[in-house]
Amino acid sequence: MNQVGKKQPFGIPGAEQWTMTSRFGRDYRIMMWKPDTEVPEGGFPVIYMLDANACFGAMTEAVRMHSRGPHRLETTVVVGIGYEGEQPFATERRFYDYTIQAAADELPERKIDAPWPETGGAVHFLKFIEEELKPAIEREVPINQQRQTLFGHSLGGWFALYTLFMKPDAFQVYAAGSPSIWWKNHYLLPVAKRWLTDRELTKPEEKSPLTIFLGVGSLEKPHMIQDAKALSELLRNSRSDMNSEFYLYEEETHLSVIFPFITRVIRNILKPI
């Protein structure tokens, strides 16, 4: 007769989580995975990812897998910013944290019979990341401050791009999967144009190195693909001295595209060893 041992919760080896309350009174579930390897000179690179309830496991396991085998890559710390609860997406919270305020006439009609959730928390959320979360992580593990990535999807991708245009020195790599560029009447497109113009006029020695990844699935709504391509063309056609990559993933939907996009970003930002 087979013997069945005591069942226990399963977790990713080396991962831990805790709750942080921002100075704005908002609670976050912080998830962190750190490598069990020697600290590299200058500290570990780090990936900060949004919607961690949905994506932290996928990102962390992808990093773990890519650190093995004949084509292995260096490893990185992964920090997930999530929320209390067991659902993949905390709809009300993410609509607030990942957006700037938008009036009803600046948004499309919602398909469900309910008003749009409260919006407008992006400024406070970015301050939380920069002024509270990053210092807390750096007290836990040595971080290379010149190798920081922000990863977001959908509205999280919008927030990643918003951060790029408002505070570009916050991270060196910005990964925006299926970004909701439609938000607030395509607010980000003219913002991007102004930012690119300013960057083109900046002296080369005053520009920080930047890499931007955009990814979208071929099965997404047409406007999602068109908007991502439009932003990609703006970035690529500028003379602003940065690396910009756009990926269209065949046969992937708005949600399934997260996984190949994670792999693509990891393979581009981590060095072979």
**Catalytically annotated residues:** 154, 220, 254
SS3 content of the chain, % helix, strand, coil (to 5): 40, 20, 40
Find out whether 181 and 188 touch, Cβ atoms under 8 Å. yes
Q: Are 35 and 15 in contact (CB under 8 A)?
A: no
Of 50, 113, 114, nearest in space to 79 by CA: 50
* 81, 87 contact by CB (below 8 A): no
50 in Cβ contact with 64 (< 8 Å): no
Look at the alpha carbons of 164, 214, 223, 124 in this order and tell me if their dihedral is positive or negative: negative
Residue 152's SS3 state is strand
* Residue 79 and residue 35 in contact, taking contact as beta carbons nearer than 8 Å: no
User: Which residue type does 92 have?
Assistant: E
Task: End-to-end CA distance of the chain: give it in Å, rounded.
Answer: 47
- The answer to whether the CB of 59 falls within 8 A of the CB of 265 is no
